Amino acid sequence: MKLTEIQAWEFIREAFRDKNLIECVGSVYVRYPDGEDHNWAYGMCDVILQLRKSGRISAKVEKSMRNKIEAALDEKFAKHRKPDYSFLFNDTRYGARKRREFCTKMIKDLTDQKQLVY
C-alpha cells in the first residue's frame, strides 16, 4: 500500500531525527528510519526520490511534495535576493531540525485542508 502525502512527510520527519543522522566530512546524512532502505540521503528531495523509486509513494504525491519544497525555495531566495541552488536548509544538525519543522508544517497544513473538506 502506498503512503499518503501526510504519511510520506511523517516518514521524512522521522528520517531527520537525531538518531538517524550521520555526520561525514562536515555534512549530515540520514539513514531511513524503518531500515527497509539501506541507502543514505542528503536532503528531503533525496528521501522523496527513494520513496518514489521503491514504489512507496505515487507520482502524484511525489509531485505535490516537490512542489511544496520548490515553493519554499522560491520564497527563501526571494527574501535573500540572491540566486542559490542549494538545499532549503544547511546540511547540519540544525538543518535537520529545520527539515523536521518543515515536515511538521506540511503535515499540519494538509491536516487542516483535510478538515476543511469535511
Residue extents of the structural domains in the chain? 5-117
Kindly report the backbone phi and psi dihedral angles of residue 85, in degrees, each rounded to the nearest multiple of 5, phi listed first.
-110, 30
Residue 103, pLDDT score? 97
Residue 84, pLDDT score? 52
Residue ranges of the chain whose pLDDT lies below 70: 32-39, 77-87, 117-118
Residue 97, pLDDT score? 94
Predicted model pTM: 0.83
Query: Which pairs with CB-CB distance under 8 Å and at least 24 residues apart come from 25-32?
Result: 27/91, 27/92, 28/91, 28/92, 28/93, 28/95, 28/96, 29/91, 30/96
Residue 8, pLDDT score? 96
Task: Using the Cα atoms of residue 101, residue 102, residue 104 and residue 108 in order, give the sign of their dihedral.
Answer: positive
